[in-house]
Amino acid sequence: MNSDSTHASAPVPALDLEPAARRVVGLLDAIDDDRLGGPTPCPDYSVRELLAHLSGLAAAFRDAARKDLGASTAVSPDTALPVLDDDWREVLPRRLEQAAEAWRSPAAWTGMTRAGGVELPGEVAGAVALDELVVHGWDLARSTGQPYGVGEAELRACAALLAPVDDDPDRGGIFGPPVPVPDDAPLLDRVIGLSGRRPDWRPGV
């Protein structure tokens, strides 16, 4: 059997990170240097730190998918404020593209891996990676006054990950306590609420 037929018969990962990665990349051109000090829905982060966090998580989840468990996957993002690379306009898009490509491999979704210093199954790490891109993409869009739309399949995957666990209803997924949002609100708003953010957040509001 040749390599092409082997590749064709491989299972397709359930989640595709490429749309989320491209969505973040699409926000970058509108962010000039004057915006880097602006606030974000993440209280400890300015736009500068948010971009640095996105760059770091893109590298970490790229390497987690590859099972390349080194320095990028070993450190919790809460250890210190992230520092933005001077060449972030080149580095961040490249890392996002690499992360999306790495998670296209079925092998990324199997076995154990590590991200943020935490050991976890590949399928969980992939879902967390998608959620990080979707939620922090919203953070970046909202911080810089840009529109932001997400596909329903992505949002449902994020909602499943962030839903409060039965024995701790005040804790929502990986971001902290959820913000109440009406049941009939748009799915994006509900996901953002589950992530601990107010869907109506605006700079200065």
pLDDT (tens digit per residue) in 101-139: 999 999 999 999 999 999 999 999 999 999 999 999 999
Residue of higher predicted confidence among 4 and 180: 180
DSSP-assigned letters across all residues of the chain = --HHHHHHHSPPPS---HHHHHHHHHHHTT--GGGTTSB-SSTT-BHHHHHHHHHHHHHHHHHHHHT--SHHHHS-TTSS-----TTHHHHHHHHHHHHHHHTTSGGGGSSEEEETTEEEEHHHHHHHHHHHHHHHHHHHHHHTT------HHHHHHHHHHHSPBTTBTT-BTTTBSPPP--TTS-HHHHHHHHTT--TT--TT-
Asked whether the predicted pLDDT for residue 6 surpasses 50, the reply is: no
| Percent of the chain predicted with pLDDT > 70 | 87
pTM of the model: 0.89
What are 48-93's pLDDT values in tens digits?
999 999 999 999 999 999 999 988 888 887 777 899 999 999 999 9
Asked whether the predicted pLDDT for residue 159 surpasses 60, the reply is: yes
Task: Give me the pLDDT at residue 174, please.
Answer: 56
Asked whether the predicted pLDDT for residue 200 surpasses 60, the reply is: yes
Mean pLDDT of the chain: 88
Asked whether the predicted pLDDT for residue 9 surpasses 50, the reply is: no
What pLDDT band is residue 172 in, cutting at 50, 70 and 90? very low
Task: Give me the pLDDT at residue 78, please.
Answer: 75
Task: Give me the pLDDT at residue 168, please.
Answer: 52
Task: Give me the pLDDT at residue 204, please.
Answer: 75
What are 18-34's pLDDT values in tens digits?
999 999 999 999 999 99
Task: Give me the pLDDT at residue 101, please.
Answer: 97
